[in-house]
Amino acid sequence: MDDQAVARAAGILCQKRVEGGIVEALPEDCRPRSEEEAYLIQAALHDRLTAAGQGPLDGYKIGCTTPVMQAYMNIPQPCAGGVLAPGVRLGSGRFDMPARGRLGVECEIAVRLRTALDPTDATYRRDRVADAVESCMAAIEIVADRYDDYGSLGTPTLIADDFFNAGIVLGGPVEDWRDLDLAALSGRMAVNGEVVGTGVGGDIMGHPLEALAWLANRWSAQGRGLPAGAFVTLGSVVETRWISAGDEVVANIEGLGEVRAVFE
């Protein structure tokens, strides 16, 4: 895929995002055929969204890191996206329902980086990325089904469009996270007071920080890094729950606290 095709795909996705339009299959001449092409388009999309007043990029999300989400999406490998600053809330947040499409929620563990994870020829492993983590947090990811039929678009197109991300609620930072067994932490999500899903940290690739190592290696392979100060959500321990206007969502991760989102 040449630079012109990357730019065309990013322009189409940017226009749909800004205007709230439904995304259909990209034109044949600029449709990504691989994850590598998808992440090139995604990076170009972030630049365009920032130029359009929708940015800047504030953090990253990783999807399909747990068996429940891989089965639900029928995608057997992790997929990453960016999170733009206007969609980030701290502790709790209100979100408007879209005029088109639908919103969903997921219960996540997130980290914030103290130091950058730069591109390297060596493979990042869990213990190495752990040294870069400043704090861990509970999080709710807001996901948007902004597609005509996401199942028919193919994974690369979904990755190019930030893999459904529409916002994040981040909980208070826990800086003594090393005192916790992240893999053993239980998580649950409730909608309007009713528990709709539970899971544990170990559902995320065996250990949540394995997802962070995966992203560091994915970015490094393309000559990219994860900057100091960025946050990364590591994947949902519960299946996506699609919500309606007026719903209140509470997610709790044992040892990391609680976050809340309300939809209007």
**Sheet containing 257-263, strands listed edge to edge, beginning at the edge strand earlier in sequence:** 92-95, 257-263, 248-253, 186-191, 194-200
Backbone angles phi, psi at 14, to 5 degrees: -60, -45
Spell out the domain ranges in the chain: 57-263
Q: Write out the H or E segment, with its range, that includes residue 229.
A: none
Tokens for 236, please give them: 């949902």
Angle of CA points 69, 70, 75, to nearest 5° = 130
Mean pLDDT by 10 residues, the chain (264 residues): 97 96 95 97 98 95 97 96 98 96 97 97 95 98 95 96 97 98 98 98 98 97 95 98 98 98 98
Residue 32's pLDDT is 98
Domain 57-263 classified CATH 3.90.850.10?
yes
Tokens for 112, please give them: 């914030």
Dist CA 61 CA 55 (whole Å): 15
Which residues, 6+ apart, have CB-to-CB distance to 153 below 8 Å?
23, 25, 147
Q: Is 70 exposed, middle or buried (CB count within 10 Å of its CB: 0-12, 13-18, 19+)?
A: middle
